[in-house]
Every structure is written in structure tokens, then in C-alpha cells.
Amino acid sequence: MEVSKMEEGQAQIDIWNYVFGFTSMAVVKCAVDLGIPDVLENPMTLSDLSSALGCSPSALYRIMRFLIHRGIFKETTNNRTDQIETIVYAQTPLSRLLMRNGANSMTDVLLLECSPVMLAPWHRLSARALAKGTSSFQAANGEELWRYATENPAHSKLIDDAMACMARMTVPAILDNHQEIFEGITSLVDVGGGNGTALSILVKSCPWIRGINFDLPHVVSVCPHYDGVEHVGGNMFECVPKADAAFLMARLYSLRPIKICLLFQVLHDWNDEECVDILKKCKEAIPTNTGKVIIVEAVVGEEEADKYKHVHLYLDMIMMAHTDTGKERTRKEWEYVLNGAGFNRYTIKHFQGHQSVIEAYL
């Protein structure tokens, strides 16, 4: 196949994006570590910013030049007459997502994915592809992800903080679009609820619900107090507190009796056969005529017009790097596991960014 000079030229440009692809993540993390997004809540000149951060002006200038080129920050004209510098740095909608205490901050997710523990498996991704029997994460870190987190409190906190970050964005979006899910429920147990952030948001918005945040003892022992939420420590494979419904942020356990089973980013951790088994357990736990399973997950768009397709594909590679069998699924792949578990009717509703709500009925 003949390749034009224009195509060859573009390939020469594009290849550098892959050679240095890690750089954007590293420099954004540098900005977060320095506190640039928070300090720049008001526009500042280079000299003012370097003074506020205690940074070398020349190094900071180069960092900001890179981040401006990537669209993280922007330059505007300085209108102050008492300053010589004519250019000031300012926030963008993107940089506001990197503010540590911002309303929709993604900082904790970034810090988790930038951690050495989570980066190391990427160097072992081929081990997963070659089916050597060891996951990329285990090959890099010696143990599978959740056991590693249990034995390393600092990494466990990174995961909990990242999950809380996602909860602060996702749970309000679920409530805004599908609050009817929680109507009629008087008690709800969040299995694997981490520090209780998701449940605290739910209970605050749905005060008729009594919340039970259930996780391993070492996790709940350091949870903050939330009105309407009881923290309970235990092992979900041995016993789960009884409630009207289960809300699952990271793991699954079936309850009897429950009206609704809500799976929040659970099934992408498992292969198709395991998902079918999990969904069958859910089917056994819900009423035959009125029960349903609500799954909050990504649905990989097969059409090129899907503007979040790149996010779905990133997430799928993350599942390959960090789990033994996990993956993101297309609509057809979701239909396969749902039908395999005996759910013959379902709806898929997009509600926020890259995520969807799948309602499966008996």
C-alpha cells in the first residue's frame, strides 16, 4: 500500500505523542503537587505566582508554558497599572477540576493513577496479553490490587479518596436523573462503601433512608461521622447487614430480602462468566415481579460519534492493567451477560459523561 509524503509526515509528528505521552500526566501532577490550580483562583503574573509557590520563576514559566499549550491554564492581559508584567495566568474549566477542594475536583483520581503502585503494572501489560497466569498488577506489585491495599494503608487511602472523589461527582448525577431508584427504601447498605462519602450524599438527599456503610474493619475504623449513616465493619463474604436495598460501590454481595440491587462500577472488575454468576445471585435476591437490578457502568460506544469513546477505551486498558479479568463492555456485551443471567429486558440511559444506568428486569 502506497503511503503519501503527507501521511508519512503526519506519522512523524504523531509518533512523538506516543513517545512522550506520559509527560502530560507527569506535568499535571506536578501542577497539583505545587498547588498551582488552587493558588490561581485569581489571575496572577509569573512573579506573583512564583512568589506564592516558592518556585523558580524560570522553571515555573516553562511548566506553565507547557500547561497552557495543553489547555490546562490560559494567558490573559494584565489590566493592573502598578505591575510591569503584561501577561497573567488564569484558570480554565479544566484547571478547576484540579483544585483540591473544588466542587468537581478530580485530583484524588489523578493522584491514585499517578502513584508508583498504579503506574508499575503498565510496564507488565504484556503479561496479561500473553496469558501467563499472573495479572499485570500482581506481576508488578507481588499481590492482587485489593490484598495489596489491605496490607498497605497509604495506598488504601489513595483508593478510598479516589472513590470518594468519583462519588461526589456521580451520586448527585444519579439523584438528579434517577432519584426514583431510592423511593420506598427505608434502609440501604453500601457494601464496600469505603469512607462513606457516597452513602452520606444519598442519605442527605433522601433523608427517609437509614444508611449502613459496610466495609472491612480497618476501613470503617477511620471513617468520619455522617448524620444518618452507621459504619459497620465486617467481611462481605461472611455476613452483610440487612437492609431494604444494597448499594455497591466496589464489590458485590447479595441480600435477602431486597427490592432493588444497585451495582455501581462493580461488574467491570469481572469476566463475563463471573458477571453472569453475580447477576444470578442478584436475581435470586430480588422479588420476581417487582425486582430489578440497576447497574451504573460505562457502555462502550461502537459508533465513532460517541464523544466519550476514548474515555471508555482508556478505562478498558486500565481494567486490563489493574485487574485479573475486568473489562469495559459494549451494549452487545452487556446484553450477553444480562441474558446469560436470565434478564431478558433492560434499558440503558446515559446520565453523566462516560457513565450509564442499566436497568435490568426479570
**pLDDT tens, 222-262?**
888 999 998 988 765 555 555 444 454 433 333 334 444 55
- pLDDT score at 191: 64
Q: Do residues 188 and 209 lie in contact, with contact meaning Cβ atoms separated by under 8 Å?
A: yes
Please tell me the distance from the alpha carbon of residue 290 to that of residue 211, in angstroms, as a whole number: 22
- pLDDT score at 271: 87
Helix, strand, or coil here: 191? strand
User: For a pLDDT cut of 90, what percent of the chain falls above it?
Assistant: 38
C-alpha cell at 209: 433512608
Tell me what the pLDDT averaged over the chain comes to: 83
**pLDDT tens, 326-345?**
899 999 999 999 999 898 88
- pLDDT score at 60: 97
Beta strands at 355-361 and 292-300: parallel, antiparallel or unpaired: antiparallel
Is 322 a residue of the active site?
no
Helix, strand, or coil here: 320? helix
Please tell me the distance from the alpha carbon of residue 6 to that of residue 14, in angstroms, as a whole number: 12
pLDDT above 80 (res 100): yes
**pLDDT tens, 108-120?**
999 999 999 999 9
Please tell me which residue, 56 or 260, carries the higher pLDDT value.
56
**pLDDT tens, 121-143?**
999 888 778 876 678 999 899 99
Which of the following is catalytic: 268, 312, 322, 354? 268
Span of 36-40, 94-98, 231-235, 338-342 with lowest mean pLDDT: 231-235
Please tell me which residue, 108 or 285, carries the higher pLDDT value.
108
Cis before 93? omega within 30: no
- pLDDT score at 258: 42
Helix, strand, or coil here: 214? strand
Q: Find the mean pLDDT for residues 344-355.
A: 82
Q: Find the mean pLDDT for residues 149-162.
A: 89
- pLDDT score at 31: 98
**pLDDT tens, 175-200?**
888 788 777 777 776 766 778 888 88
CA dihedral (224, 227, 233, 238) positive or negative = negative
- Dump the DSSP string for 75-105: EEE---TT-S--EEEE--HHHHTT-TT-TT-
pLDDT above 70 (res 358): yes
